Structures are given as structure tokens and as C-alpha cells.
A and B are shown apart, each in its own frame.
Chain A
């Protein structure tokens, strides 16, 4: 590089370590709280090193949850997982089919379909809460996995990513497969989808995290404990008066909600970064 002075070389390391400490700061204290008794936490300031109740707290969170919640973290994790997987897989399948039609076929209404999908690109559910709620309630999908998943599949990002990728696939391949007697669906299944595995992996990471972290929508449509996701459970545990909160259980649940998507991002970092920066182009 250009600068050679020693102090200049140490500078980025100092800054980045400082940033890492700030980023990890709240996580560390949440972890400490999840290993202590509620009395420890309430006797502010809480001790700054971990206690000995880790197994007990996580065990209770997973098996029964905090008092008055009526849902265990195990159940809520299952619900968060079903929702995240449903959204990720559902979105990918539906978007692959739509992008395939838009790119590889010429049909009246193609432009219309493209624009109808495009307009939903950045529209979050937050801005159309009430009417979407009404649709789900009319369809009888309150307190159901279908109700949690289906409205979240609307979004153009995946269609766009796949469309871009499909546009870069040489058409000779499609033509050749046709000449060899393969149907268009055979081409899709055995040639196009395998070629698309990198963008699919990228989309999977992004959509899994998106689904796992949904908040407003499950907040609206889940009133029964057996459909609570982790985030809804955390909200319910915190909504009582301060003195009634079992902080140690809440904090254990917070970490259980935080760790799975973080693992996905860290393990699939390459695909994740590629997916994010590709949708920009």
C-alpha cells in the first residue's frame, strides 16, 4: 500500500477493534443476564461476569417459557423456523417460475406481469396493514402458518434477481435442448435451475433472515400461543410491568432468537454478500 508509517498501519486495527467492542457490547450483557438469576439482574448494577444459571435458564426458557407467557421457546423456535423456511422456499419457487416465464416466453401480457410485480419491489407490509389483515381474516387464515407465510411472499426482489440471471444465460442452450427433444419444463428443471444455484443460495440466506425476523405481521395475526414466533414471545414477556419481567428468561430467549440467523449469515457469508450486492445492479 501507499502509506508505510507504523502508526498509520496500526490505526485501522484500533478503529475496527473499537467498533467490534461496541457492536458486541449489548450482546455480552444480554448473555451475562441469561446466565444469572432475576435477583442478580434487578440488583442493578448487574455483575459484569457470567453467572452459574445458564443451563437452568435456557432449560426453563426452552421447556416452559416465562410465567404468564404460555409458550415455550421450543414451540416458538419451531414456529419461527416454519415461517422462515416457508417464506424462503415459497418465495424462491414462485419467483423462479415467474422469472422463467417472463424471460423465456413471449406472451401477451408479459409486460403487464412484469410491471405488476415490479411495483411491489420496495413496499413493506407496514404501509398496508389493515387491508392485508382483512384479506387474511376473510380467508380464515388468522392463527395459521399459511397466514403467516403467504402475504410475506409478495416481493419483487427474488423475481428481479432471477430475471437478471436468466437474461445472462445464452439462449443457444435453450434452443439446443429444444432441438434435442426436451420440453421447456425439462429444460427448466434439469438445466436452468441447476445453473441458478448460486443466486438461489443467495436468495435463500436473505429470505430466511427476512422471514425469521418478521415482527409486525405475526404480531397482528397470531393471538394463540401455539402460533407465537420467538419475537412475539419476547414482546409479550416484556409487555408487563417492569417488576414482573423475568429478565433472565427473556434474555435467554433473545439469544435463541438471535443465534440461528446469525449462524446462517456467517456460514453463508459469500452467498449472502453476492446476493445483496447483485440485487442492486
Chain B
């Protein structure tokens, strides 16, 4: 390959990347370094004394049943969101992709919830399920005999968070699944139909394998959403409760840092979360690289 043309300037490129680099260093690398640094110290929250404690903050976390409970509920929560929202959006994308009338109307109606803030999605469903004024809570109580109170019942709190988070995430998955489905070559599907494959067989043997890059990408993105971006819903709807039943990891970082002022412990948790995100990023990137060459 011939060498690509490049502008000859020496100083200019540095000037051009400076704003981005300043922001990245100031608001990403510096805070990250701080988090790593602080995770090795025990700090007096009111300034003053700092004691180096090595890995004690980490050891404390790993011996803390609360931390493991939080870990467990985060994994369950992220999995519940990922599975439910991906399954529903794939199903809806398949229906929209059937060359039916009004498909662009349907598409718009599926996509707009993407614009709703995670926190607002939480408030919408909170209002539906509020034990005193909620329409659904009322229906459940007086029509089905189910006493709804997510402030007291852990499984109901978990269910409500999952509904609100998945409701919002369906739009995102729908966009990608529909784009993926539209790139499946139609002649291939028709050839299989002529050979006698029914719609279900065609889906599992042709369409689903061809969608696998999209599915994998969405799997990672949904896990990231479920683990890290659902803080607003948890904060608004259950505040980690009842008790600590829905205290996911990002909520615990916030509570320990902002409310309990345990900087060392909160920083150690931040470091662990950052490692998790970086692993997911690398997995995602490796995969994208492979797809590009393929």
C-alpha cells in the first residue's frame, strides 16, 4: 500500500489534540489515579490524617458479606435486564422486519423510549407501582389480591427495577437487531424456504447465526448498562432497599463514598469497577477488530 498523504506540520497536531488530552487527563486519568492511590489509605473524612493501609481496604471488601451480596444482586440484575430486554427487542424487531405495512411507524414507536432518561423511566414505573397512588399497585391489590409494596418486599423491588430498566433498554436493542436483520440476505432465506425449512427452522439455522455479531455486541453493551448505568433507577426507585436488597455495586460506591464518607473503601470499589469495565471494553474491542478483518 502506498504511503498515505499526511500534513507536514510539526507543532499543529499537538495543539489539536490538546483540548481532548487535557480533558481526558483531568477528568479521567487523574481521578483514576486518585482512586487507586486512595484505595490504599484509610482517611479521616474531615481532612487531616491519612494512614497507609496497603491492601486492607480491598481485604475488608472481600471479607464483607455486604459486598458479596451487592455483587450477587448486580449480576442477577444485569442478567435479568440483558435477557429480558434482548429477547423482547429481538422478537419485536423480527415482527417489524416482515415487510409489513406501517413498518416505519412501528419503528418510530419502538425507538423513542431511547430518549427517555433512565431516571425518568424509573419515575414512570414508580408512579405505576406506588403502593398508595399507583394504578398497577391498585389493580394488583383490589383485582388480583396481591399486596404490592416494593419498599418492604425485596423480590418486588427487584422486579420493579428490572421492568423499568428493561422498558428503557428495549429501544436500544431494537435499533441494532433491526439493522442486523435488514442485512441478512433475503435470497438465502428464500432458498431455505424453497428447500422446505419452516419459519422457526429458518430463524435458528440462518438468521440467528448471521445475527451473532450484533447479539454479542449487544450482550456486552447490555451488561455494561445493567451494571453501571442503572444507578439513577436504583437511586430514585428503591434507594438500594428494602434494607440493602437492591444495592447494586455502583449504588454502593456512591453510598459508601458520598453518604458514609468512607473514601478508602469507596475508592477500592471504584478501582474494582474500573477493572471490570476495562475488561469488557477489551473484550468488545477484540471482537470488533476480528469482525473488521472478517
Contact = CB atoms under 8 A, between A and B. Distances in A.
Contacts of A124: 224, 228-229, 277
Contacts of A273: 111, 175, 179
A41 to B, nearest CB: 5
B17, B19, B118, B235 — which one has the most chain A CB atoms within 10 A of its CB?
B17
Interface in A1-55: 1-3, 9, 11-13, 15-16, 19-20, 23, 25-27, 29-30, 33, 41-42, 44-46, 48
A119 B31 contact: no
B79 interface: no
Contact of B27 (A13, A110, A150): A150
A66 B99 CA distance: 48
Interface stretch (A71-79, A126-134, A193-201): A126-134
A185 B56 CA distance: 53
A151 interface: yes
Interface in B144-189: 167, 170, 172, 175-176, 179, 189
A97 B19 CA distance: 8
Contacts of B96: 12, 16
Given A1-B98, A102-B17, A128 B35 contact: yes
B69 interface: no
Given A42-B133, A131-B32, A94 B23 contact: yes
Interface of A: 1-3, 9, 11-13, 15-16, 19-20, 23, 25-27, 29-30, 33, 41-42, 44-46, 48, 93-95, 97-98, 100-102, 104-107, 109-110, 113, 116-124, 126-132, 134-135, 150-151, 153-154, 159, 171-172, 174-175, 178, 184-185, 187, 209, 212-213, 215-216, 219-220, 231, 234-235, 238, 242, 247, 250-251, 254, 257-258, 261-262, 264-266, 269, 272-273, 276-277, 280-281
Given A30-B127, A116-B29, A127-B274, 18 more contacts: A3-B199, A16-B95, A16-B96, A16-B106, A119-B278, A124-B229, A129-B254, A130-B253, A135-B31, A150-B23, A151-B27, A153-B23, A153-B27, A175-B5, A209-B114, A257-B117, A258-B115, A269-B111
Interface of B: 4-7, 9-10, 12-14, 16-17, 19-21, 23-32, 34-35, 38, 88, 91-92, 95-96, 98-100, 102, 106-120, 123-128, 130, 132-135, 138-139, 167, 170, 172, 175-176, 179, 189-190, 193, 199, 214, 217, 224, 228-229, 231-232, 235-236, 250, 253-254, 257-258, 263, 266-267, 270, 273-274, 277-278, 280-281, 284-285, 288, 292
